[in-house]
Structure 1
Amino acid sequence: MRMRHIPVAVALSGVLCVPAHADGVRDIGRDVLAPDDGWAAAGGGTTGGAAADDAHVYTVTDRAGLVRALEHGSDTPKIIKIAGTDDSGHHLDCADYATDGYRLKKYLAAYDPRTRGSAKPSGPQEEARQASAAKQAERVVLPVGSHTTLIGLGDAVLKGADLQVGNANNVIIRNLDLRDAYDCFPVRQPDTGGLGDWKTAYDTLTLTGATHVRADHITASDKGHPDSAEPTCFARNYLRHDGLLDITGGSDLVTVSWSRFADHDKAILIGNSDSATGDRGKLRVTLHHNQFESVVQRAPRVRFGQVHVYDNRYVVPEGSEYRYSLGVSTESALYAENNAFHTPSHVEAADLVKSWNGTALHQSGTLFNGYPVDLLALYDAYNSGSERDLTADVGRTPTLHGKIDSAAVADREVARGAGAGRIP
């Protein structure tokens, strides 16, 4: 099997509170979060790098410049504007990262379940895979520190990278097309899902222990490298991508708005383990005015978190794979209102919700192919008498939000305005 060419360089091409400027020109790098715009507005709000001095305002045109401006995840207030052209000359493919004798053909032969059964990979080829994965991570992982605004100018594209906001506070990421966080060295998990599976390492945006984060007008996708085009190895799709956005590890006070998540399997995960009881009282997230298009699942899937999902648009194209949109898991409090769903005939309204140990889901104002539906009633009717029944009481009513439009109005507005390159 030939490795794909994966450019992991930064490929670049050309409502918030807006501060006044003496020259009359708006500087979107210093825009700050509106005082009522979701959970990220709580506890003092989210300002990103708005307080940066002139010495820490950067315009970068390639990956090297971006790495320097990020300062290894430092907490110095900074504004980083991404503009320019592709970092040509630094496009690497998977063969450039392979080291210590790693070869996919050898790896598959070494861990064939017909000879190894369910034993976890160990030995020379697994060690070589780990070393190769570490070499790729050095280039792919970009740490974002506290008090940072990262914003694209024009049609900025960040390709083949994982922006990681880890244990950082007060971050704004805007107007970026985050594309194809491709893992060259997925690990074999032989004891998962009966026949085993593949586990990948990277998301386009990862929040771990992060607080006060705003993601606005981003586009996140697998554009150019869908997992559906990958081969089947050991009766499982050879996955190259994980999630588009993961919010885990006690992350808190996050707003994701006016963004587009597309052409991917697992879109947004909020809480990554049923046993992560330290997430209780955290994972407070608002998702509003986002579009989920050709997304198979997790839009979002929630554990523990208090999550407000309103005025979002969901599009399932004819012939695309689909599992569910709203995932209700352990101790989650998911409050969904005024969302619009467009699906082909094989997807029923009851398919939009799935539960794993979940107990409650509030939903109201839902439009399904243009018609109002009660998702909870349909879900409970479909699962009548099962342990998966859900109640409507999630224990709270969200109050921290802007104007909530009807699903019909939001449907039109999101179709026109969500995603990178569409800041008003």
Structure 2
Amino acid sequence: MRRSVALRLSAVAGVAGVAGAIAFGLPQHDASAAVSPATGFASANGGTTGGAGGATVRATTGTEIHAALCGRAATDTPITIEVQGTINHGNTAKVSGGSCNTAAGLIELKGIKNVTIVGVGGGAVFDQLGIHIRDSSNIIIQNVTVRNVKKSGSPTSNGGDAIGMESTVRNVWVDHVTLEASGGESEGFDGLFDMKDDVEYVTLSYSVLRNSGRGGLVGSSETDTGNSFITYHHNKYENIDSRTPLLRGGVAHIYNNHYVRLNESGINSRAGAKAKVDNNYFEDSKDVLGTFYTDQAGFWQVSGNVFDNVTWSAKGTDNNPAGPNPVSNTSVTVPYAFSPDNAACVPAVVAQTAGAGTGLRVSDGSCKATSTPTVNPTTPTANPTTPTASPTAAPTTAPSRPAGTNLSIGAGTDGSSKASGTSYGNVKDGNLSTFWSPNGATGDISIKWSAATTVSRIDIREASGSSVGSYQVLNGTTGAVLKSGTGAGAISFPATALTKITFKITSSSGTPKIAEFETYAS
């Protein structure tokens, strides 16, 4: 079976114009494939195993992902697709076949079963390109970043949802992913993690959702209440206006999540939904739990949560906040065992484990992060297909990127004279295809804040063809040198409180192109 699948994939790749770009063989050591059982509700209803037991392929474009799906013997033939590099509109085309139903401009998992999509090493990036799951089951998505997906403006993808599920979807596990936007609906973005029209048995775990107007919904309207059995655990929601999540009907289990800066509302249980809310840490937020913007009540069972600097609005016809002293008004039973961390340690545990590129670390249930155990993959019976063309090169990034919140998002920028067609703001827009260049071989670019901000790591992400030589990292206000060296990538230095940090390029072998200047507290 593996040999026949390999031959079919090779043929489809050739037809699709990506000849030889997909290769069978053992997963790379750093591929970070899903090796532990699914958790939460994704472990029920027969469990979620994705492509376990099937072939493993490597893809570096969206077209190659589609070709891998279309090259299977049937719609339910198991497959694990290891994704490397950046997937975007320019490399994601429709591919046709009897075992797929794809479209250009988004990753389409439609009418299929038994698929794992996993980022290699530090994780793959889906740039302005969403993942759409429809009429499918037994799907795993792991170790990827999906960012800046738009429903309006240009380019658009997946209705503006980073990951969206609809129309009879069962058993999906989304784990160790980073989902982010750069604003709300007025800027063209929608939800980060949405489910509607009959979706059940889903788990979102160890993930980061940030900088969006909408975290995600379960049910598209007050009448779409047939979605249920969703688990959210060990995720970080940061700088989200609302929907963390919005629940319309059904049952959700929400535990050990860290919520920071929920600006308007948080867990919105309405239209008969029941939420089991255990051992979460809510911080610097407003109306983190209740029924909001409707008179159709939802319900909650609460235990062990921490409310740190949370404000609550007054009750009204269309608003029923659970606080300031939340108490349970329903009872929820889950069909699986779980060992929650104490809420007090949730911020620390989630910081070590959540998001793409964190090595699939998980909590041991006692406030400690541990590595996911390695499982030896099955050796394919067919030799790897030799590519006839070189795969698309992965973007130039540091081998080990910092974890945590990118403090550059929402900050200001300035710098020395810039090359024509480039912009200072390009270094904090989350888009590797835009960049700043100095007007010459040297120059400096800065990130600045209105108040003192502690920074100990930066990540200078270069665009293709960049050539940074030597550099200095400066306190942009005092001029003090925090670090000097050569090249770009992740750079560490003693933690420093400052209002402006500068990356000064003192030599290069050509024209430097800085795509992202990311800053981190640790």
1:408 to 331, 344, 362: 344
Contact (CA 8 Å) 2:59, 2:82: kept in 1 or not? yes
State the one-letter code of the partner of 1:70: L
Structure 1: how far apart are the matches of 2:126 and 2:60?
11
Contact (CA 8 Å) 1:359, 1:388: kept in 2 or not? no
Helix, strand or coil at the partner of 1:65: helix
2:354 is equivalent to residue 418 of structure 1? yes
2:146 to 162, 166, 178: 178
CA deviation digits over 1:313-368, x for unaligned, max 9?
A: 0111xxxx81111101101001111110121xxx55x4543433124211221212
- In structure 1, the partner of 2:7 is none
- In structure 1, the partner of 2:211 is 263
1:210 and 1:304, CA in 2 relative to 1: closer, same or farther beyond 3 A? same
Structure 1: how far apart are the matches of 2:89 and 2:245?
35
Spell out the pairing of 1:199-214 with structure 2 (5 A cutoff).
201-208=159-166, 209-214=168-173
Contact (CA 8 Å) 2:79, 2:116: kept in 1 or not? yes
Contact (CA 8 Å) 2:229, 2:251: kept in 1 or not? yes
Contact (CA 8 Å) 2:89, 2:106: kept in 1 or not? no
State the one-letter code of the partner of 1:296: D
- In structure 1, the partner of 2:233 is 288
Aligned-residue offset at 1:72: 8.9
- In structure 1, the partner of 2:299 is 360
Spell out the pairing of 1:12-27 with structure 2 (5 A cutoff).
none
Spell out the pairing of 1:139-218 with structure 2 (5 A cutoff).
139-143=105-109, 145-155=112-122, 156-185=124-153, 201-208=159-166, 209-218=168-177
- In structure 2, the partner of 1:60 is 59
CA deviation digits over 1:294-320, x for unaligned, max 9?
A: 11110011011200000000111xxxx
Structure 1: how far apart are the matches of 2:319 and 2:260?
29
Structure 2: how far apart are the matches of 1:40 and 1:292?
21
Structure 2: how far apart are the matches of 1:173 and 1:287?
15
Aligned-residue offset at 1:164: 1.2
Helix, strand or coil at the partner of 1:201: helix
1:160 and 1:276, CA in 2 relative to 1: closer, same or farther beyond 3 A? same
- Number of paired residues? 314
TM-score (norm 2): 0.54
- In structure 2, the partner of 1:383 is 315
Spell out the pairing of 1:230-379 with structure 2 (5 A cutoff).
238-277=186-225, 279=226, 282-316=227-261, 322-343=263-284, 347-348=285-286, 350=287, 352-355=289-292, 356=294, 357-369=296-308
State the one-letter code of the partner of 1:396: V
Structure 2: how far apart are the matches of 1:249 and 1:88?
27
State the one-letter code of the partner of 2:65: L
Helix, strand or coil at the partner of 1:263: strand
Structure 2: how far apart are the matches of 1:414 and 1:389?
26
1:385 and 1:181, CA in 2 relative to 1: closer, same or farther beyond 3 A? closer
Contact (CA 8 Å) 2:191, 2:217: kept in 1 or not? yes
1:69 and 1:138, CA in 2 relative to 1: closer, same or farther beyond 3 A? same
Q: Which runs of 5+ in 2 are unaligned?
A: 1-25, 94-102, 362-522
Contact (CA 8 Å) 1:167, 1:210: kept in 2 or not? yes
- Structure number with higher helix proportion: 1
Contact (CA 8 Å) 1:38, 1:286: kept in 2 or not? yes
- In structure 2, the partner of 1:39 is 41
Structure 2: how far apart are the matches of 1:389 and 1:312?
19
From the CA coordinates, give the structure whose radius of gyration is larger. 2
Structure 1: how far apart are the matches of 2:63 and 2:316?
56
Structure 1: how far apart are the matches of 2:138 and 2:149?
24
Contact (CA 8 Å) 2:30, 2:121: kept in 1 or not? no
Alignment root-mean-square deviation, CA: 3.4
Q: Which runs of 5+ in 1 are unaligned?
A: 1-21, 93-136, 187-199, 229-236
User: Relative contact order, CA 8 A, sep 6+: which one is greater?
Assistant: 1
Identity rate, percent: 26
Contact (CA 8 Å) 2:63, 2:92: kept in 1 or not? no
